[in-house]
Amino acid sequence: MPSKPSQSLATFPNPSPQRDYRIHMEIPEFTCLCPRTGQPDFATLYLDYVPDRRCVELKSLKLYIWAFRDEGAFHEAVTSRILDDLVKATRPRFMRLAARFYVRGGIFTTVTAEFRRKGWRPAPAVDLGSLPLRSPAT
């Protein structure tokens, strides 16, 4: 049976809830409709999140994204809605969604929205570029 769009987001248990780690996804085929003209808007979505107890299941995410294809939405509204729905489903420690819309009328648009759980702070970054590539000669 063929798949069809869905507004439902499935999740699964985080296999390493004791650790902060980043999940990065690129979704290059996002489409919605301009609410004023009805013409299609195309975007690549960039999703980054630090899960807590739940991770989003990829097929359900694909079907969820597909559900916007025939919906009219301003870029800012659809980006915020997708982030809100993903946060509600997964309850992450941190989540960022950047929607990079392709040119329309000579203008590229990128909308970025974030969620940060109250009190969560990322661990300090480790700069591996400053480490020697090999041991110094003795």
DSSP alpha helix (H) spans, 38-101: 58-66, 75-90
CA separation for the pair 92, 117 (Å, rounded): 7
Question: Distance of CA 4 to CAs 1, 63, 66, 67, 68, Å?
Answer: 9, 7, 8, 8, 12
Which residue among the candidates 20, 32, 41, 48 is catalytic per the annotation? 41
Which residue among the candidates 34, 52, 84, 85 is catalytic per the annotation? 34
Please confirm, yes or no, whether 55 is among the known catalytic residues.
Answer: no
Please confirm, yes or no, whether 32 is among the known catalytic residues.
Answer: no
Q: Where do we find the tokens 């097929």?
A: 59
Catalytic residue numbers read 34, 41
